Amino acid sequence: VFDTALLSIALRQMQGSLSATQDQMAWVLTSYLIALAVMTPFWGAISSIFGRKPLLLLSIVGFVTFSMLSGTSDTLREILIYRFFQGAFGAALIPLSQSALLSIYPREDFGIAMGWWGVGIMFGPVFGPTLGGYLTEYFNWRWVFYLNLPLGLLAFAMIAALVPRQRNTTRRAFNYLGFIMLAITVASVQFVLDRGERLDWFSSPAIIVLCLAAAGAFWVFTVNSATSRTPFVDPAIFRDRNYVFGIVLRILFGVFLFSSLVLVPPFLQNQGGYPLIDSGIIMASRGVGAMIAAMFTGRMLKFIDPRKVILAGMMLSAYSMWEFSNFTQDIDLTVVLINNFAQGIALSFFIIPVNTVAFSSIAPEQRDVGTAFYSLLNNIGRSLGIALFASYLARNTQAVHEILRADITPFNDALRHVGVPEVWNLDTLAGLQAVNAMVSAQAELIAYIIDFRLLAAIIVICMPVVFLLRNPLKAEPAR
């Protein structure tokens, strides 16, 4: 998560260094995300055979190695290959680290474990753009990759020293057909979500073919899971109600967190006029709020029904998004900071109890696969949110521009008013350009408002899902 957030800021400088087009540079992220999506369930499946600690150590070594190689790349081909393998190894880190914490802590302290885990997870998307912008601005884009070396060494040492070896690993047969079908499904879906807007969605034959491939592969995967004696993903895990509805809410979290992270920084830059570095620092206030809330949210779950905390987080998220929809081009810095800080608190109130509830009754032997599948669907939710809201923003900007432009004519009496600035004189080319720039800015502002209000509405509509969860404080633990 941290690596992706760092890199998103450095792409423009990398484009010039590697002599690549903007579309080609998009593959630097796409190749990583496809590998991440494909390999996430793989690591969860083989951890029951080899144990999670050796795999965590192996994944850190592989991730850091290919990160360093990415920093030395001189051609687009090199960095695409290195990024793919970096994503393949990095896919193990989130699910297996989460599973390790659940195994170390007793069930009554799951909230505390997920609270501190959430601090680390939310550090990346919030502080990553700020640090990435600083490294790119004052050093070089290659340092975005080199930064993973000291972090990787620290993580390797801590896991080697603190994470206990997993006991009772099983020599369970690996279901190759199930893995291949699931890999085709998630790779196709990831490609469609990541490249759909650029290829104009279903106007592209490639998107249609990949959607059919995903549907067919998922059908084979489902049949295989239901009929095989050793399915790749045990269907029994989906009989747990808290896990299933936790996944639904986790997808919502992916949509909300990453779509808002994609929308808010350019909104501050394009509409508020804030420089790149300043907008990154403003976004860091969200991380401060998230980390402060995470420190006490986990302990709070020992005494308060987690469903109430989730609802509080969702209501605060919806309110903050609605507040963003009321902003104009004259954006007050203090209001933005307060709103971002509130969003951070809301994220901790949402994701920490959702994680706690989702795994409260999962059997210990299913945790590795459960966390992997859970993480996979969060990644899908992230890509879904970015794809839908970025596409919606672009299309609404065009649509609103056409509506506003229709009233800009020499026959509009309002534009002939004596109070209209001379710079907007429609009889001159400069005047037409000035009016078009103003209309474009206003169209984009309205499109942002629509996106922010839609996000708020989605959160409110999804609130009833919380009532389908069982209270883990009263539920029986899995055996």
User: Per-residue pLDDT averaged across 316-322, rounded?
Assistant: 91
Place of tokens 């499109």: 447
Please give the average per-residue pLDDT across 275-299, as a whole number.
Answer: 79
Strand intervals (E) in 253-375: none
pLDDT of 361 reads 82
CA–CA–CA angle 8, 13, 18 (5° rounding): 105
> Domain 235-479 belongs to what architecture?
Up-down Bundle (1.20)
- Choice among 73-87, 315-329, 418-432 with the minimum mean pLDDT: 418-432
CB contact at 8 A, 6 and 132: yes
Cβ 282 vs Cβ 337: under 8 Å:
yes
Q: Looking at the predicted structure, is the pLDDT value of residue 2 above 50?
A: yes
CA pair distance 95, 246, nearest whole angstrom: 15
Average pLDDT value for residue range 126-136? 69
pTM: 0.81
Residue of 141 and 66 predicted with greater confidence: 66
- Fold (topology level) of 1-173: Growth Hormone; Chain: A; (1.20.1250)
Residue 479 pLDDT greater than 50, yes or no: no
Greater confidence (130 vs 197) lies with 197
- Position of tokens 């993580």? 155
Spans of all domains in the chain: 1-173, 175-231, 235-479
Residue type, 86: Q
Q: Model confidence over 195-225: pLDDT tens digits?
A: 887 888 888 899 999 999 999 999 999 999 8
Classify residue 132 by its DSSP letter: H
What's the pLDDT band for 102 if we cut at 50, 70, 90?
confident
> Does residue 230 register a pLDDT over 60?
yes
| Equal fold, 1-173 vs 235-479 | yes
Say what percent of the chain tops pLDDT 70: 87
